[in-house]
Structures are given as structure tokens and as C-alpha cells.
Amino acid sequence: MGLDENTVLKSARVFTLFQKLEEYGEIIKSNPKLEDLENENFDFDIKLIFITKSSLETIRNSINKISEIREIKVIDISNLVRKSNISSKEESKTTVDLNLDEYDIDTLKQALKNNFNTFQVHVGLDEKTILKSARAFILFQTLEEYGEILKSNPKLEDLESENFDFDIDLVFVTETSQNIIINSLNGISEIRQVEVSDISNVVKNGGNIKEINEIAATSLATSTKVTNTAEITKDKESSNKVVEIKESKNSLKAKTVETEPTTKEQNKKQSVKHKNKGVGQSVRVDLERLDNFMNMVSELVIHRTRLEQISANHKIVELNETLEEVARTTTDLQDLVMKIRMLPLDVVFNRFPRMIRDLSMELNKEIDFEIQGQDTELDRTVIEEIGEPLIHLLRNAADHGVESAEKRISQGKPAAGKIKLIAYSEGTKAVIKVEDDGSGINVEKVKAKAEKVGINTEGMSDNDIKNLIFSQGFST
């Protein structure tokens, strides 16, 4: 598909195009990438891969209604994707490589001597997962209740910075049975696939590094990008079509499509444009160890205070200078431990611009999203829990707070609604606010719902009635 070369607001035209297409299905790949389209960092040509139940003619006619589009080409590539899936199965056997070294193999053999089981675990996260790092953390936490994770692919730093798609492969040593591990992992939300393969026999029989790594590649082959892309098609192939929509001056040939469905990883990376920004080196430390460290520092402070008392009682002048140094060092240690436990909120906040953009298109509303105070730091245990409540608040603001463009214009407001996510420190606390410029809470609607479920609102102030929305199970 090609935009008219006189188009001034190319990004606005692209937004209209995406909005129109997503009425009929799902865009799974774009070229140029989404961030380039938003920043108008492209000429006038756009190529998309799109899943839909509608006919090619319906899609073509729908796009034709958009102004400033000069050329449209829609191709059904369902058969090509199916062929790509079949031909990729053999290749996929070598795509997953956990790169076990001699030390890892020796560790596995030692574990077997002590009657431990050795498993390879493949976990596929749901593709709608927003907080992938939090989900990976819960996965590791669950497994470490039963044993030890020896190796992971992607590496730990990539999991923490969300520099991966949706597949995680692990080598895991445990005394627990295979079924218990599978059941435990299946109990974690937003996990769509769990595979646990026993490689104990391979290690026990003296398998070398190459053999064991080949077993890893074979047993975890389902995590390849090609297979996942084709699985989407396979699940829907009875009623859905995969189409490629091109905007091109040169009417690019269909043969280029064959490699397009295999690039799911590039598609997923569109949603993580902020994620690699400012990512530093880090190590994973168990919170229990941090707590123990904090307790030891507290003990050190107590002993320092005792020494100061002894020095004062016995007037030992020689100790004063040394004790001052100890006091400074222990204070610095206390501050350091607290900072180690802290993480900036942008670890969570950077997921939300994409979510709001998707909601804007889904709800057919214009929404400007603003983040303030993402450098505010919180304890990492709070960071891991705060994501899901914020998702609900932001969804609620987009769905129920911001009105449609037509309604806003009729009320004298700008067509685009505003949602703000604000964080700041206040003394020893951190405050997080979600604000929108919508019409606010309809008191009468809440009151009617309350009376419907048997809550007597007589004599209640408007604020008290509004606060009913926080009652468990209460929904308007």
C-alpha cells in the first residue's frame, strides 16, 4: 500500500489505516516498524501482515475508503505460511541452544549421583502478557521452591530487561517429579505452554556436551519463531486468512512473503522500544539474602553504639576518630542496602504507552498518554506487585473515563482525551496517581447500582457514594 506523496500527516494516516484494519482482525507485522511509522521515519510505502476472517475484497474496499492512499495490494499468504511451518520443522531442531559447558555437565552428573532429576523446561508466555519480567520472576520463584535452575535461555539479564519474545527455556535440577513441576507451572497465570523433558538418562549414560545440547535443541524446538508464527495460523486456519497488505511504488512481488511470517521476534520488539533504554548490568539476588544483609548491618549499628558508650564512659580519646569513621561507614552501608532494594518505576511504566495505544485503537478513542515521575524508586517487592493494579486503573480510565471524540467535541473538549500516570515521593512514601480528563464518576449511576445490590445510600455524601466503587465485587 502506498500513501499519496502529498500526504502531510503520514503518522495520522497510518493511525487511521491501523484503526480500520483492526476492526476486521489483527496486524502481526509491519514494515516499517511501528515506532518508525509513529515518528514518520519512512517514505510513503507500508507493508503489513494481517490475520482476519474477512475476505480480501472486504479488506481492499475498507482501505480504499481512506483518503490519501494511492495504491493497495492485498495478497492471501495462508498457504505460504503453512508451507513455511512444515519446512521449518527440521530446521527448528537446532534453533534452541542452552550452551551447556563442561562445568554445567559435571554439575548435572553430580546431581544425578545424589538422586536428583534433571529436566529441561520450556515455558511459553501468553502473547498478551504485558509484564513479562514479572511473569518470569514468578516462574523462577516457583521452580526454585523445588530445586535449582542451572541454565536459562534467554539469559537472566535479558529476562529482567524484557529483551526476549515470549519463550523461556531452562535446565532444572530437582528431587520433585515431572508431573508436580508441570502442575506447578500450569498454575501460573499468563502461561500458554509448558513442556518438561527428562534428560537424566542422557546425562547418566555419559552423554557429552554436544549430545546434551542437541537433546536440548530437539526437545525444546517448539520455541522457535517460525513454529510460533505458524501456530497462530494453524489455530485459525479453518476460518482465518493471513494476508499481506503492501503499499509500494514498485508493486513488490509475492515471493518476498515467504520469509515475512518467520520474523515474529521483530514484530514483538515493536512493543519494547523503551525497554533497552538505560539498561545497566545487574545480578539477581535473593530477597532473603538482602534481608539477612540488612539485619547484619543493623547489628553492626548496635555494636557501634555500644562502642561509643564505652569510649565515652572510659574517656578513651584515641577511639573517637576511629568510631567516627565506623559511624560514617555503617550509615553508608544502611543507605546502600536500602538503595539495593529499590528500583525505578520506569521498569513498570514503560510497558504502558503501547497498552494505551492499543486500547485507543480498540476503543476507537483518541487518547494522549503522559507519564511523569518514572524515576521515582520503590522497593522491588512492591514493583513486582504494582503492575497489575495499574493495568486495571489505566484500562478503566481509557474505557470508562475518556469519552468518545464526538461526545468530547459536543461538550466543548478537545477530541483527544488525556490520561496521566504520575508518581512522586512524599516523605517516606511514594504516591502513584492515574488521572484522566473524562467526565468523572457518575454518582447517580453508582447510587442506582448500590441500591440494586442492597446497599442503602440514604444520608451518604457524594464522596461516600463514589467510594463504593472500591467495595469488593462492586461494579457498575
Q: Which of 169, 175, 166 is nearest to 197 (CA)?
A: 169
Is residue 246 situated within a structural domain?
no
Residue 268 confidence class, pLDDT cut points 50, 70, 90: very low
CATH number of the CATH domain containing 309: 1.10.287
Q: What is the pLDDT of residues 310-342, one digit of tens each?
A: 888 888 877 887 888 888 888 888 888 877 778
Q: Mark whether 106 and 213 lie in a shared domain.
A: yes
Same-domain pairing of 455 and 432: no
CATH number at residue 367: 3.30.565.10
pLDDT of residue 114: 79
Same domain, 131 and 206: yes
Q: What is the mean pLDDT of residues 8-34?
A: 78
Give the model confidence (pLDDT) of 356-381 as tens digits: 988 888 899 999 999 999 999 888 77
Residues 212 and 122 in one domain: yes
Binning pLDDT at 50, 70 and 90, where does residue 415 land? very high
All cell numbers assigned to 310: 564505652
Instruction: Please give the model's pTM, rounded to 2 decimal places.
Output: 0.40
Owning domain of residue 173: 102-217
Select the more confidently predicted residue: 87 or 171. 171
pLDDT over 80 (residue 443)? yes
Most confident segment among 196-210, 289-303, 424-438:
424-438
Q: Are residues 128 and 209 in the same domain?
A: yes
Q: If DSSP codes are grouped into helix, strand and coil, which group holds residue 350?
A: coil
| pLDDT score of 130 more than 90 | no
Q: What is the pLDDT of residue 8?
A: 67
Give domain status of residue 419, yes or no: yes
- What pLDDT score does 234 carry? 31
Mean pLDDT (the chain) is 75
The whole-number pLDDT of residue 231 equals 33
* 3-state SS class at 69: strand
If asked whether residues 213 and 107 sit together in one domain, one would say yes
395 lies in the same domain as 471:
no
Q: Is the peptide bond before 154 cis (omega within 30 degrees of 0)?
A: yes
- More confident call, 289 vs 269: 289
Domain count of the fold of the chain:
5
Same domain for 163 and 204, yes or no, is yes
402/460 same-domain check: no
Q: Are residues 426 and 449 in the same domain?
A: no
User: Is residue 130 located within the same domain as residue 210?
Assistant: yes
The angle at the Cα of 193, spanning 187 to 195, to the nearest 5 degrees, equals 95
Return the CATH number at 119: 3.30.70.1110
Q: Which of 34, 41, 42 is nearest to 15 (CA)?
A: 34
- Contacts of 144-152 with C-beta under 8 Å, sequence gap 24+, read 145/184, 146/174, 146/175, 146/176, 146/180, 146/181, 146/184, 147/116, 147/172, 147/173, 147/174, 147/175, 147/176, 148/172, 148/173, 148/174, 150/104, 150/107, 150/108, 151/98, 151/99, 151/100, 151/104, 152/98
Residue 343 backbone zone (phi > 0: left; psi -120 to 50: alpha; other: beta)? beta
Q: Is residue 151 part of a domain?
A: yes
Whether 305 and 363 map to the same domain: the answer is no
Task: For residue range 75-121, list pLDDT tens digits in order.
Answer: 776 655 555 444 444 443 333 455 666 667 777 777 777 788 888 89
